[in-house]
């Protein structure tokens, strides 16, 4: 079975067949030993063991913690890759980059805004953040209000 | 003495641990968001106080104290710890407030008042007016100011309500921004201006007073490694500090402590400019997040001294009992996304393994399954190490950070490790703005990343094999039978 593991901008082509593992064309002797049912594994190489914690995330994402570092990767099989469509973020969409409290909304629907203008202020964990207009345009939607608690990814302002 | 700890998280647990050692029963308070939080079960009893913001409600906490029969209240840091009205209400209810007198908290809480007191006590105070910025800026006000200038909330704390203005054009905007944040955080939009000291170091002095004229100095802490005015790494002693400067800091802190007839623990904060001059900035009338580094070098339990003083009215220590040895460093482990501009992260902790070994201390309230939300701050844990000297302490921290395994939310662990290995940190030559220019490597080291990729592929393969039916479509009854045979007597 062929797996494409994407970590940041790097891609690893890994072939796993029975006990044989080939990484980018190079055979390695590694296997995974389950230590418990909560995601703790031993990655066993020829001469070395490494403790790893592995957890599945949504949409093919996998989180690995290894030696104090956390790696979030996407794993793909050729079939899965074909199915997936790419969709870029819309230019005038301003979403909450973190869950938090909407401290102020500075624009109304129909208002014209300049690029870089502060549209709203969001607060999360002792920190305030100004949400600025990514483009110049007209505000078409403001589905939030002062004092609202928003989730990460919630639409704050739509500019067209 | 039954002690109610009016706080949550690691500091509540840390205080309760000392209470237990001293034989004092403890009472926890917990909000809706903390029904299964560890501080609740660390205490002997726990009182439910309601909504997440209930830790800030004076009456709610006082009622909890009365209901539980507590005789004393420890506020920890944050929340009501610097609220003079709270300290007053505790004492009015006939309870012991484990901290400074309410009037001291009041004076310290008004940064302008604190400046006046410090100046009167002969401390070097940053130049600038002791007056607040007027609501309506008079004509020509912006041009009369020297830039760059900091706009600071008079009621500020924890780095909130501070803005930097670089030019007259920016001043009004920054004043408004600081006012807005101050108003939301402290319900007080008074701001004042303070000149920005370029290439400054933040050095603070720990004091302990008995409120009867006796004040002790428990050494200094270097806290220049800050992001958005939040301390990230603290250490004691301050590296490369000339002995004369250290003595000047101690004397200044002592003078202010005496002027306030200080009771309990306090921290006098200074900026050290590039010429080596010290400038008083503020006094924090509470236990600090970074107090463990002082504990590691002095061998003292600061909370124990606080509790003993609260119980007996006397300090157990004299200045000559206090000696610092070696070096200690603290690193704050935060739930934040280094790749996305250090935004606070939320989620659930799916795995924790804390580091250990000699001279390593972890103060945390972490557990597997812990929800990380936005109700409270992003501090997950503090790691404190001690070494015979700074070099040994750094080596120890570099050993310890990779041992700390946290899954479920992004943390600053790898960032902290890189900081520990940066030439400026190693040489001890850094300023409060160091992190503005420090660019961490975001990607894991190539070997580690490759290893992670292998683990992931094997994991995905395992998952797949488990969910797929056997390729020949046949079940294997003989295998099940053999297993049952093996497990006989065990099932």
Measured in angstroms, the CA of B168 and the nearest CA of chain A are apart by 20
Confidence of residue B376 (pLDDT cuts 50, 70, 90): confident
Q: Is residue A6 part of a domain?
A: yes
User: Could you tell me which residue, A140 or A83, shows the higher pLDDT?
Assistant: A140
Percent of chain B exceeding pLDDT 90 equals: 78
Omega prior to A155 cis, within 30 of 0: no
Report which of B105, B57, B112 is spatially closest to residue B83, judged by C-alpha positions.
Answer: B105
| Measured distance CA(B369)–CA(B354) in Å, rounded | 15
Among A14-18, A65-69, B88-92, B468-472, the least confident range: B468-472
User: Rounded to the nearest 5 degrees, what angle is found at the Cα of B436, between the Cα atoms of B431 and B440?
Assistant: 110
Is the model more confident about B230 or about B359?
Answer: B359
Contacts of A76 in chain B (CB under 8 A): none
Clarify whether residues A77 and A101 are in a common domain.
no
pLDDT band with cut points at 50, 70 and 90 for residue B229:
confident
Q: A76 and A115 share a domain?
A: no
**How much is the pLDDT for B443?**
83
- Which B-chain residues 247-266 have CB contacts (< 8 A) with chain A? none
* Cα separation, B315 vs B263, whole angstroms: 10
Asked if residue B448 has pLDDT above 50, the reply is yes
Instruction: Find the range with the poorest average confidence among A14-18, B64-68, B248-252, B384-388.
Output: A14-18
* 3-state secondary structure (DSSP) of residue B205: strand
Task: Tell me: pLDDT of B478 over 60.
Answer: no
Q: Which of A8, A32, A50 sits opposite B458 (nearest CB)?
A: A32
Confirm or reject contact between B453 and chain A (CB < 8 A): yes
Q: Is A153 a domain residue?
A: yes
Host domain of residue A37: 2-81
**Contact B184/A123, CB-based, under 8 Å?**
yes
Residue ending a domain, among A50, A81, A112, is A81
* B396 assigned to active site: no
Contacts with A5 from chain B: Cβ below 8 Å:
453, 456-457
- What was the pLDDT predicted at B165? 92
Give yes or no for a contact between B127 and B138, defined as CB atoms under 8 angstroms apart. no
Partner B, chain A 74-103, Cβ-Cβ below 8 Å: 75, 77, 97-101, 103
> Is pLDDT above 70 for B255?
yes
Q: What's the number of domains chain A is made of?
A: 2
Shared domain check, A9 and A74: yes
Residue that is last in its domain, among A54, A81, A108: A81
Coil, strand or helix: which one is A48? Answer: coil
A110 and A67 fall within a common domain: no
B425 Cβ neighbours under 8 A, 6+ residues apart: B225, B233, B394, B419
Within-domain flag for A86: no
pLDDT band with cut points at 50, 70 and 90 for residue B45:
very high
- Shared-domain flag, residues A76 and A99: no
CATH number at residue A119: 2.40.50.100
Find the closest chain B residue to A41 by CA distance: B455
Mark yes or no for CB contact B460/A8 under 8 Å: no
pLDDT score at B474: 47
Q: What is the CATH number of the domain that holds A46?
A: 3.30.700.30
Task: Give the mean pLDDT of B424-445.
Answer: 91
Mean pLDDT computed over B255-265: 98
If one compares B432 and A77, the residue with the highest pLDDT of the two is B432
Exactly one of B8, B101, B286, B390 is catalytic; which is it?
B286
The answer as to whether A88 is a domain residue is no
Q: Are A90 and B472 in contact (CB under 8 A)?
A: no
Q: Answer yes or no: do B455 and A3 touch at CB < 8 A.
A: no
Q: How far apart, in Å, do the first and last CA atoms of chain B sit?
A: 51
The reply to whether residue A67 touches residue B448, judged by beta carbons under 8 angstroms, is: yes
Q: What is the pLDDT of residue B468?
A: 59
Whether B257 shows a pLDDT value over 90: the answer reads: yes
Per-residue pLDDT reduced to its tens digit, B65-124? 999 999 999 999 999 999 999 999 999 999 999 999 999 999 999 999 999 999 999 999
Higher pLDDT, B267 or A58: B267
- H helices of B302-445, where? 302-312, 390-400, 413-420, 423-427, 434-437
Residue-level pLDDT at A89: 47
CB of A61 within 8 Å of a chain B CB? The answer is no
Question: Given A34, A60, A81, which residue is the final one in a domain?
Answer: A81
Confidence of residue B480 (pLDDT cuts 50, 70, 90): low
pLDDT band at B420 (very low <50, low <70, confident <90, very high): very high
Q: Are residues A72 and A115 in the same domain?
A: no
| Residue partners of B451: CB distance under 8 A and separation at least 6 | A43, A50, A66
Same domain, A42 and A112: no
Query: What pLDDT is attached to residue B259?
Result: 97
Answer yes or no: is pLDDT of B138 > 50. Answer: yes
- Domains delineated in chain B: 3-98 (3.40.50.20), 127-195 (3.30.1490.20), 201-437 (3.30.470.20), 446-491 (no CATH)
Cα B157 vs. chain centroid, distance in angstroms?
Answer: 12
What was the pLDDT predicted at A160?
Answer: 82
A-interface mutation test, from B345, B407, B442, B462, most A Cβ less than 10 A away: B407
Whether residues A98 and A70 fall in one domain: no
Residue A87 lies in a domain: no
Residues A76 and A7 in one domain: yes
- What is the number of helices (H) and of strands (E) in chain B? 16, 22
**Does B228 have pLDDT greater than 90?**
no
Cα B450 to Cα A67: distance, rounded to the nearest angstrom: 13
Given this model, what pLDDT does residue B482 score? 54
Is residue B489 very low, low, confident or very high in pLDDT (cuts 50, 70, 90)?
Answer: very low
A71 and A108 within one domain: no
Q: Among A85, A81, A70, A59, which residue's Cα sits nearest to residue A11?
A: A81
- Whether A4 has a pLDDT exceeding 90, the answer reads yes
Name the residue of chain A whose CA is nearest to B418's CA.
A69
| B394 φ/ψ sector (left φ>0, alpha ψ -120 to 50, else beta) | alpha
Q: What is chain B's mean pLDDT, rounded?
A: 92
With beta carbons less than 8 A apart as the criterion, state whether B182 and B189 touch.
Answer: yes
Give the per-residue pLDDT at B300: 98
Nearest CB among B417, B450, B459 relative to A12 is that of B450
Cβ distance B435 to A30 under 8 Å?
no
The confidence score (pLDDT) of residue B486 equals 53
In this predicted structure, what is the pLDDT of residue B467? 67
Q: Could you tell me the pLDDT band of residue B490, with boundaries at 50, 70 and 90?
A: very low
Do A22 and A57 fall within a single domain? yes
Q: How far apart are CA B361 and CA B385, in angstroms?
A: 6
Task: Kindly state whether residues A112 and A74 are assigned to the same domain.
Answer: no
| Residue A59 domain flag | yes
Beta-bridged to residue B72, according to DSSP, are B3, B96
Residue B338 three-state SS: helix
Q: Chain B partners of A63 at a C-beta cutoff of 8 Å?
A: 350, 407-408
Other Cβ atoms less than 10 A from the Cβ of B436: the count is 11
């Amino acid at each position: 079975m062929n797996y494409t593991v994407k970590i940041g901008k790097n891609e690893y082509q890994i072939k796993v067949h029975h006990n044989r593992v080939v990484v980018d064309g190079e055979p390695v002797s590694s296997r995974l030993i389950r230590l418990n049912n909560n995601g703790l594994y031993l990655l066993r190489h020829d001469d070395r063991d490494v403790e790893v914690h592995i957890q599945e995330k949504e949409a093919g994402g996998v989180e690995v913690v290894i030696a104090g570092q956390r790696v979030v990767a996407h794993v793909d099989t050729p079939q899965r890759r074909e199915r997936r469509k790419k969709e870029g973020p819309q230019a005038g969409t301003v979403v909450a980059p973190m869950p938090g409290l909407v401290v102020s909304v500075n624009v109304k629907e129909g208002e014209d805004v300049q690029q870089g203008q502060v549209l709203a202020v969001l607060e999360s964990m002792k920190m305030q953040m100004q949400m600025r207009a990514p483009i110049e345009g007209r505000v078409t939607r403001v589905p939030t209000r002062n004092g609202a608690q928003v989730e990460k990814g919630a639409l704050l302002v739509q500019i067209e | 003495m039954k002690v109610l700890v009016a706080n949550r998280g690691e500091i509540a647990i840390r205080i309760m641990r000392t209470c237990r050692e001293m034989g004092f029963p403890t009472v926890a308070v917990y909000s809706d968001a903390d029904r299964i939080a560890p501080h609740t079960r660390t205490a002997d009893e726990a009182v439910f106080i309601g909504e997440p913001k209930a830790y800030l409600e004076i009456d709610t906490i006082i009622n909890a104290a009365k209901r539980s029969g507590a005789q004393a209240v420890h506020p920890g840091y944050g929340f009501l710890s610097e609220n003079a009205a709270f300290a007053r209400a505790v004492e009015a209810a006939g309870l012991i407030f484990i901290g400074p007198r309410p009037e001291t908290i009041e004076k310290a809480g008004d940064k302008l008042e604190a400046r006046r007191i410090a100046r009167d006590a002969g401390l070097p105070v940053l130049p600038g007016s002791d007056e607040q910025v007027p609501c309506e800026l008079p004509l020509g006000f912006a041009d009369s100011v020297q830039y760059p200038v900091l706009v600071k909330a008079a009621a500020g704390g924890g780095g909130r309500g501070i803005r930097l203005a670089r030019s007259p054009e920016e001043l009004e905007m920054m004043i408004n921004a600081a006012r807005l944040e101050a108003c939301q955080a402290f319900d007080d939009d008074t701001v004042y201006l303070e000149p920005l000291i370029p290439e400054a170091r933040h050095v603070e002095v720990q004091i302990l007073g008995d409120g009867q004229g006796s004040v002790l100095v428990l050494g200094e802490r270097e806290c220049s490694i800050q992001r958005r005015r939040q301390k990230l790494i603290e250490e004691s002693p301050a590296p490369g500090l000339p002995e004369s400067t250290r003595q000047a800091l101690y004397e200044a802190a002592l003078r202010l402590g005496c002027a306030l007839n200080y009771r309990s623990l306090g921290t006098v904060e200074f900026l050290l400019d590039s010429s080596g001059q010290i400038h008083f900035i503020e006094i924090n009338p509470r236990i600090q997040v970074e107090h463990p580094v002082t504990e590691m070098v002095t061998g003292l339990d600061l909370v124990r001294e606080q509790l003993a003083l609260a119980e007996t009215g006397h300090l157990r220590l004299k200045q000559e009992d206090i000696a610092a040895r070696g070096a200690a460093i603290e690193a704050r482990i935060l739930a934040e996304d280094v790749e996305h501009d250090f935004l606070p992260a939320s989620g659930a902790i799916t795995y924790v393994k804390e580091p250990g070994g000699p001279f390593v201390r972890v103060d945390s309230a972490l557990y597997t399954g812990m929800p990380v939300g936005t109700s409270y701050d992003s501090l997950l844990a503090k790691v404190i190490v001690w070494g015979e000297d700074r070099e040994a302490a750094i080596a120890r921290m570099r050993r310890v950070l990779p041992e700390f395994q946290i899954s479920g939310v992004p943390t600053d662990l790898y960032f902290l490790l890189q900081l520990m290995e940066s030439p400026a940190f190693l040489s001890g030559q850094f300023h409060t703005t160091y992190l503005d220019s420090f660019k961490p490597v975001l990607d894991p080291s190539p070997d580690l990343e490759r290893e992670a990729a292998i683990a992931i592929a094997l994991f995905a393969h395992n998952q797949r094999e488990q969910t797929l039916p056997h390729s020949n479509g046949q079940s294997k009854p003989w295998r099940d039978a053999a297993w049952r045979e093996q497990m006989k007597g065990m099932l």
